[in-house]
Amino acid sequence: MKKAIAILLIIVAAFLGTLLYFHAHDTRTADSLSAYARIEFTGLRGSDGSATSAHFTVWDTRYDGAKADSKVTLVTDSKEWPLIASVKQKDAGSFQKENEISVFLPAATLDDIKKATTVRFRYSYKDGQTIDLPLNDADLAYWKGQVE
């Protein structure tokens, strides 16, 4: 009987530990967007070689299965650019979902990106959690190089 109780306690502890890990992953914090999720940014050029727009994608993994909202915001210094993103969700491993948040940035944002000292990206999940993180210095320099 004691052995059965001990085994049951081990199973319950393992289950609770797994739930705590999942919750900690889904509510994690970071200093920059690329430390939080995988990102990709590409400047798009016209036939004359000048930057005309840009494409930005964030891949964010979660365990709770919440899907990201398509309403996102790009913040350049203090100017907010509300945008509509394409959001796809797929399985990313055991119990994990990956949200691909993809958005085209209009030409009007490019000048602000070139001049910005801080660029932030904000998106939220349908469960109410909002992610609002800045680019780190290296990513901001890369973005500026892409839109020059």
* Domain residue spans of the chain: 31-147
Q: Which pLDDT band, with edges at 50, 70 and 90, does 134 fall under?
A: very high
* Pair 43, 22: CB distance under 8 Å: no
Region 73-85: mean pLDDT is: 96
CA distances from 78 to 44, 105, 113 (A): 24, 17, 11
Mean pLDDT of all residues in 37-46: 92
Domain 31-147: assigned CATH number: 2.60.40.10
What is the average pLDDT score of the chain?
91
Q: How confident is the model at residue 104 (pLDDT cuts 50, 70, 90)?
A: very high
pLDDT of residue 147: 93
